[in-house]
């Protein structure tokens, strides 16, 4: 899958509300089997080549709020959705993070950009 295809695959999982008032980010760094990804306080072990997407349901809200992560299998496009409260960019925005979607009601100032 290309990164554009991965982004489109993630976009298809958004609910109508997430599309309207949320933001979808994709980390364009491939995770290899055996590595871990930290989601809130949990470490999730990756079993296949995986991409991570983040659905921010409430952009602009500080601290913990409704969000979810998508672990996308890069070989078959299967997605595991994991509910969360914190973004992957609490302290620093990864250079590999890309905005895939911004809802129509989301102000530009709330969009996170790599440093």
Per-residue pLDDT of the chain (115 residues; tens, 9 = 90+): 899 999 999 999 999 999 999 999 999 999 999 999 999 989 999 999 999 999 999 998 877 899 999 999 999 999 999 999 998 877 778 899 999 999 999 999 998 887 6
88: closest CA among 108, 114, 106? 114
pTM for the predicted model, two decimal places: 0.93
Please state the domain extents for the chain. 3-102
Q: What is the mean pLDDT of the chain?
A: 92
Which one, of 104, 112, 86, 76, lies nearest residue 14 by Cα? 104
């Amino acid at each position: 899958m290309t990164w554009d295809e991965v982004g489109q695959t993630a976009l298809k999982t958004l609910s109508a509300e997430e599309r309207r008032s949320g933001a979808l980010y994709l980390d364009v760094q491939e995770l290899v089997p055996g590595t871990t990804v930290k989601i809130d306080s949990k470490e999730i072990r990756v079993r296949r080549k995986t991409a991570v997407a983040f659905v921010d349901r409430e952009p602009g809200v500080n601290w913990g709020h409704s969000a979810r992560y998508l672990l996308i299998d890069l070989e078959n496009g299967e997605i595991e959705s994991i509910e969360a409260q914190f973004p992957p960019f609490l302290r620093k925005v990864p250079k590999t993070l890309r905005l895939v979607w911004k809802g129509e009601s989301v102000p530009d100032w709330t969009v996170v950009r790599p440093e």
